[in-house]
Amino acid sequence: MAIVDIQEYLKLIPAVNRAPQHAVWLTYDAEADTLYVNYKKPSHATDSEMTDEDVIIRYEGDDIIGFTVLHASKRLKKSA
């Protein structure tokens, strides 16, 4: 069994607390190097917009239901 760094997951608590309905589902697709963040399951986007940072914000009506982060691995901070 792999050792899990629980401290890294505890850092997510503030983001989950601010999320709609206090729920967040994360999925990383290594082949596409894409992180999917969902605030609602199941979610059915009715609209989306791409930001200048290559993030797709997904909407259901006026509500943000999640976002998709393209080139996710390139956003990792390099250790000094």
Q: What is the pLDDT along the chain (80 residues), one digit of tens a residue?
A: 566 788 888 999 999 999 988 999 999 999 999 999 999 988 899 999 999 999 999 999 999 999 999 999 998 765 44
Q: Kindly state whether residue 47 falls inside one of the protein's structural domains.
A: yes
Q: Kindly state whether residue 45 falls inside one of the protein's structural domains.
A: yes
Q: Kindly state whether residue 51 falls inside one of the protein's structural domains.
A: yes
For residues 29 and 37, the answer to whether their CB atoms sit within 8 Å is: no
Domain count, the chain: 1
Rounded Cα distance between 64 and 29, Å, is 21
Residue range(s) defining the domain that contains residue 45: 19-75
Is the peptide bond preceding residue 14 cis, with omega within 30 degrees of 0? Answer: no
Q: Kindly state whether residue 67 falls inside one of the protein's structural domains.
A: yes
Degrees (nearest 5) of the Cα angle 68, 12, 17?
95
pTM of the shown model: 0.82
Residues in the chain: 80
Distance of alpha carbon 35 from its chain centroid, rounded? 6
Q: Kindly state whether residue 49 falls inside one of the protein's structural domains.
A: yes
Q: Kindly state whether residue 7 falls inside one of the protein's structural domains.
A: no
